[in-house]
Structures are given as C-alpha cells and as structure tokens.
Chain A
Amino acid sequence: MTAGTQMVAVTSNAERQRSRMPRWYRRREASILSFSGLAAFVIIWQLAADLKGLDFTFFFASPSGIIEAAGKEVQLPRFWDDVATSAWELLAGSGVALGLGVPIGLAIGWYRRVGFMFDPWLNFFNALPRIALLPLLVLWLGLGTEMKIAAVSLGAFFSIVVPTAQGVKTVDRNLLDVGRSMDASQGRIFTSIVLPATVPYIISGIRIAIGRGLIGVVVAEFYAQTKGIGVIIVKSQQALNSDRMLFGIILFTISGILLSYATSLLERRFQKWRPGQDMEE
C-alpha cells in the first residue's frame, strides 16, 4: 500500500474547531458566554412584557419596571433604614454564630469528653427545623432586632460548629506525630497543626452558614414585619407591587453574593498553601 505513506500533522478535533474563533474571544470565552446567557434571559423577559402590552406589575414586573421601582425606592430614607437594619441583623447574627461556633467546634473536636456531651445536642438541633423555634424567640426577645439576630445565629451556628469539629477530628495523625516528636507543647500543637488544618473546614462551614443566616433574616422579618428588606417584600406583596417585591428579592440575592465573595477573599488569605490557589490564570 503506497497510498498511506504521506505524513499528516496530528491535530485534535477540539483544537481545529476552536482555532476558527478570533483570539480575543478564545481568551474570554467563559465570561462572554455566561454574560450572554444572563443578558439573553433579561432581554426575553423585557420583550415578553413589552409585547404583551399589558401591565402585569402586580403579578410579575418587567426588568425596566423593577429598575424604575428601585429608582423611586432608593430616594426614600425609610429604604436605607430597612437596608441598614437587615445588614446589621445579618452581620451581627453571623458574628455571633462565628464567635461561638468556631471555639465550641474546636473544643468538641479536640476534647473527646466535650464531644460526647455535645453530640446529642448537635443531633437534636440538626434534626430540628430551626425555623420552628421562631415563635419561641419572639416570646423571649420580642419582635425587635435582637430576635432577628438570634434567628440568624441559630441558622448559621450549626453549619459552623459541625464542620469545625469534623476538621479537628480528621487532622492528619502523622502531622500530630511530627509535633509530638519535636516535643511541641499542647498549645503549640493546637496553634501550629490543629488550627491551620481546620481552617478549610471552617471556611466551607461559613459558606453554608451564609445561606442559612440569610434564610434566618428573611423568615424572621416576614414573621415580625417591623423593619428590613423582608418587610419591603411582604408589604409590596400585600400592595400587589411585584416590581418593588422583586427589587427586595434581588437585594437579598446581592447580599448573598457579596458575602460569598468576602468568604472567597478569606479563603485566599488563609489558604495560600493549598494547591491551585496561585494557579488561576
């Protein structure tokens, strides 16, 4: 057979297809496509609302309607008061959850006996839908900010305690041996080995806690209806203002995104030693 003697350079299929695209596109393909997906959805939503020519504000507002409502809303001093209230409840509640959750989680993981004592309680609260405790919190703390802070902490606390304790328990035994072998004090073993090994667990706990804490704010504000973004949502629903309502929902979403982003910064700060942290392009 002499037909097959010619040599051809090997290129992969994917490579041939991609190389048809311009360079600037290839470099940012992921961000361009995700932005397009988002933009396409908003445009179709807007067009559908416009073409229908009907005012559906009380059911489902159009994007431009939401922006308009937002423009009006941000001019009201009451709005900023609501935002500040919700933000405070979220931050203070998360602070309490973190401030109590991390040390308690460390103690549970490090001291076997403390672990045994806390275990039934952790199981109990894990099984309990914690939102069901809200009426009890109102009874104890009233309808004000304290109750909401408590609701947020209650939501976030367990998401931090459980992984923190888990992190301490799963510290690599070989590394503990290194510490003992070097005659490190218990305190040094804790700060130089246990704590750094647990940081990734704490941070993934914080990630889950953010979502739980947000649920806490929303439900507590729905329930008590004194102040906050949650109140904006409920009041708008009662007034059939879906544009203001969606604006409130978007605000909660944005705070979730911002907190997630803050967690990523924390992660980068504390986990420089993990593979992949400095390999991002």
Chain B
Amino acid sequence: MTSAPATQDLALSARGVRMEYLDRGTRERFVAIESLDLDIKQGEFVTIVGPSGCGKSTFVKLVNGLLSASQGEILVRSVAKGKSDAMVFQDSALFPWYKIIDNVSYGLVCAGVSKKQAHERAMPLIKLVGLGGFENKYPYQLSGGMQQRANLARALCVDPAILLMDEPFAALDAQTREVMQAELLRIWRGAEAEGGARKTVLFITHQIEEAVFLSDRVVVMSARPGRIMEDIRIDLPRPRDLHVKRTPEFQEYQEQIWQLIASQLKAAASQFGGSKE
C-alpha cells in the first residue's frame, strides 16, 4: 500500500464512487456521479460547488449512508467516541412535534443516552449556536435562521468526526445567510475549543462566494454526470470575518471558480443550441 502513510491523517477517502439511478417512469438509467475520488484531511473544511444536478447532494448522502453507491468505496475514519459523521439537512428538517432541546438531543437519545443526560449534553450546544433561552420552544416559533442553528446543534450534539452540510443556508434570505456563514465559522471554532479536535466539515453549496468564504478547499464539480473538475486550496487567513469578502484575493478565487462553472453552463447551453456566444 503506497498510500498507507498518507491515510493516517485522513478523515474521509472516496475512491471511484459512481452513482446511477433508475428512473422508475422511463426505465432509463442516468448517472448522477461518474467517478469521484476525494480525500479530506482531519480538521479540514471542504466545500463542493457545482451546478444544480451535479450530484453533490447525492455525494453527502452516500457519505452519510442514506444512499449506497453503485460502485466504488467511501472510507471514513472510525472514532472512539461520538459518531463518525452527522448531517445538517437542507430545510432544517426539525421535528415539529419536539421542543428545540428534544430535537437537538435526538441523536443522543437514538444512541441510547437517557433523556436527562441527553438534555444536559445538548444545552451547551444550544448555547453555542446562540439559541440559549429557546430550548423549550417548538420549531414553528423560531425563524428560518434560528431553525438552521438548531439543525446544526442537532448534528454537533452527537459529536461527529465529520460534519456533513447539505446546502444548509439555501432557504435563508441573503442577509441571514451572511450572518449564518460567519456564525458557522464561529461555531466551528467554538466546537473545537469545547471538544478538543477540530471538526472536519464537508459542505455543499451552489454559491461560490459562500464556498470561498468558508473553506480550506473548494472542490468544483462538473454538470451531470458529476465529476471533479478542480480542487482549489483557499489560502485566506483564519479566523475570517465577512470583511474578507471585500479583499482582492477573495474575489480572485471567486472569479476562478466562476469561470470553471460558467464553462460548464455554456457547454450545457450549447447542447440545446441556445448559446449566442
């Protein structure tokens, strides 16, 4: 094994992952992910961007085990405590019949922790995400941004080695979204201070700006069938705040990624003969 020394500090390793769907209506197979190789180091914040339908959401579901790949393998580091990975869902997906504290501690209760203990362990996370005082509210009593904070706390509560985030801010308005991006970085550092090891994050978005702002690495995927076009390291100093978005370096990264995705969109458009360029 030539890769043996390198795997030591890997949190996730995907090799030749292929995902095909069978359309029940047309009986046609279509390929969501062509062949995907991806390594993520422990503590790294990696974002996958790509046009819609490129299979990026499918990939996190594969990592989470909600789907199983047609071919290839995904390895995640096994952990002594906590879960290997946990998902922050797209539309908050909070249980409307549970109070915030029961939503946040849900994963622990599923793992067999007593309700009382689970609540005790959930409280610091509720405070970390800025929902202190709202633990006894029902989800409908919270705004969209607050619901996403609870969604994030629920995933953090099981102490995952990898945090999977599937377009978590897509449904938020532009301003709340910016606030949540900065908050996510704060919480990421906060969780590090509390749990010791820095969490590995795999983040999915179609917003280039969001990807550059948050990540150590941005992985750009092609239009369907999805494959990796480019893996870009973002060398912007941390801790970052929203001001970094105004710097020329930031805008260069954004431009570079935009060019890659635009080429994909152009290719797709010319297939339909609609491109005028």
Minimum Cβ distance to chain B for residue A280 (Å) = 15
Minimum Cβ distance to chain B for residue A171 (Å) = 11
Flag if A272 contacts B138 (CB, 8 Å).
Answer: yes
Flag if B66 contacts A180 (CB, 8 Å).
Answer: yes
B95 partner, pick from A180, A196, A275, beta carbons under 8 A: A196
Residue B21 lies at the interface, judged by CB distance under 8 Å to chain A: no
Flag if A275 contacts B110 (CB, 8 Å).
Answer: no
Assembled-state Cα–Cα distance A193/B139 (Å): 15
B111 partner, pick from A183, A197, A199, beta carbons under 8 A: A183
Q: Which residues of B contact A179 (CB under 8 A)?
A: 110
**0/1 interface trace, chain B 128-156, chain A, CB 8 Å (1 if under):** 00000000001110000000000000000
Assembled-state Cα–Cα distance A182/B111 (Å): 8
Flag if B96 contacts A174 (CB, 8 Å).
Answer: no
Q: Which residues of A contact B107 (CB under 8 A)?
A: 182
Q: Which residue of A lies closest to B61 (CB)?
A: A177
Q: Which residues of B contact A40 (CB under 8 A)?
A: none
Residue A192 lies at the interface, judged by CB distance under 8 Å to chain B: yes
**0/1 interface trace, chain A 207-242, chain B, CB 8 Å (1 if under):** 000000000000000000000000000000000000
Q: Which residues of B contact A177 (CB under 8 A)?
A: 66, 87, 89, 93
Flag if B93 contacts A188 (CB, 8 Å).
Answer: no
Residue B30 lies at the interface, judged by CB distance under 8 Å to chain A: no
Main secondary structure of the interface of A (DSSP, over half): helix
Minimum Cβ distance to chain B for residue A15 (Å) = 29
Minimum Cβ distance to chain B for residue A82 (Å) = 42
Assembled-state Cα–Cα distance A149/B15 (Å): 65
Q: How large is the interface on A (under 10, 10 to 19, 20 to 34, 35 or more residues)?
A: 20 to 34
Within 8 A of B (CB), among A173-207: 174-175, 177-185, 188, 192-193, 196-197, 199
Assembled-state Cα–Cα distance A151/B190 (Å): 64
Q: Which residues of B contact A184 (CB under 8 A)?
A: 110
Minimum Cβ distance to chain A for residue B141 (Å) = 8
Q: Which residues of B contact A193 (CB under 8 A)?
A: 95
Residue B86 lies at the interface, judged by CB distance under 8 Å to chain A: yes
Assembled-state Cα–Cα distance A172/B93 (Å): 9
Flag if A188 contacts B110 (CB, 8 Å).
Answer: yes
**0/1 interface trace, chain A 265-281, chain B, CB 8 Å (1 if under):** 00000001111000000
Assembled-state Cα–Cα distance A182/B113 (Å): 13
Q: Which residues of B contact A275 (CB under 8 A)?
A: 140
Assembled-state Cα–Cα distance A178/B98 (Å): 13
Q: Which residues of B contact A174 (CB under 8 A)?
A: 89-91, 93
Q: Which residues of B contact A178 (CB under 8 A)?
A: 87, 89, 93, 95, 106
Assembled-state Cα–Cα distance A180/B66 (Å): 7
Residue B125 lies at the interface, judged by CB distance under 8 Å to chain A: no
Flag if A183 contacts B110 (CB, 8 Å).
Answer: yes
Flag if A181 contacts B87 (CB, 8 Å).
Answer: yes
Instruction: Output the residue of B64, B89, B107, B110 with the most chain A CB within 10 A.
Output: B110
Q: Which residue of B lies closest to A179 (CB)?
A: B110
A273 partner, pick from B66, B86, B91, B98, beta carbons under 8 A: B98
Residue B126 lies at the interface, judged by CB distance under 8 Å to chain A: no
20 examples of A-B residue contacts, CB within 8 angstroms: A172-B93, A175-B95, A177-B66, A177-B93, A178-B87, A180-B66, A182-B86, A182-B107, A182-B110, A182-B111, A183-B83, A188-B110, A193-B95, A199-B97, A273-B96, A273-B98, A273-B138, A273-B139, A274-B96, A275-B140
In the complex, besides A178-B87, A184-B110, 10 extra interface pairs with C-beta distance below 8 angstroms are A174-B93, A178-B106, A181-B86, A182-B86, A182-B110, A182-B111, A183-B111, A196-B97, A273-B139, A275-B140
What 8 pairs between A and B have smallest CB-CB spacing?
Answer: A196-B97, A182-B107, A273-B97, A174-B93, A184-B110, A275-B140, A182-B110, A273-B138
A residues at B contact (CB < 8 Å): 172, 174-175, 177-185, 188, 192-193, 196-197, 199, 272-275
